[in-house]
Amino acid sequence: MLDIRKPIAWLHIVLGIMLAAYGYTGGAADLRPVGIMPVNVNVVWGIVMLLFGVIMLSIVTLAEVQAKIDSEKSLTETSGES
């Protein structure tokens, strides 16, 4: 079965790294808010996207592991009944 969460997670991870790197290297220096925070907005949102991607990827991995455990459990239960 196709799980769309994994490619979306990797998309957020890659774009988050790219956005944070772009902001860190000084791209679009005018996106630095005065007085609010001394960090470029691209760095902050790049890190947010990266964290979202990592969380999503961990959820997908846990779901895959749980599905594998459930399938093995159902196989052992059906073979035990015979």
Average pLDDT, the chain: 85
Largest CA distance in the chain: 72
**What are the tens digits of pLDDT across the range 3-18?**
899 999 999 999 999 9
CA–chain centroid gap for 67, Å, is 20
Q: pTM for the whole thing? A: 0.77
pLDDT(39) > 80: no
pLDDT(70) > 90: no
CB atoms within 10 A of CB 63: 13
**Which position has the higher pLDDT, 69 or 36?**
69
**Which position has the higher pLDDT, 15 or 71?**
15
